Amino acid sequence: MSEQPVNDPLHGVTLEQILNHLVEVYGWEKLGKRIDINCFNSDPSVKSSLKFLRRTPWARTKVEGLYLATKRREKRR
């Protein structure tokens, strides 16, 4: 069987990679302003944020959306 290409732009990208990229681009303070959730605004860390995002689908969707928008902007430069 031949495998078909995956059209999901997040295919192969882990949540940790997404989060680390966003923190690198925006920093915790700006990230917390863009997506207002406590794990970004109150004593933020990658570990605590990952735990929250894995249990909270709406927050993960927002983070993934910001990541995709950021990557599109970076591509245009």
In tens, the pLDDT along 38-72 reads 999 999 999 999 999 999 999 999 999 999 999 99
Domain architecture of the chain: domains with CATH: 15-76 (1.10.720.30)
- pLDDT of 5 reads 63
- pLDDT of 76 reads 86
CA-angle at 9, arms to 75 and 27, nearest 5°: 60
pTM of the model: 0.88
Least confident span in 3-17, 22-36, 49-63: 3-17
Question: Between helices 46-55 and 57-76, what is the axis angle to 10°?
Answer: 120
What does the alpha-carbon distance between residue 76 and residue 59 come to, in Å, rounded to a whole number?
26
Mean pLDDT (the chain) is 93
Q: What is the mean pLDDT of residues 8-35?
A: 96
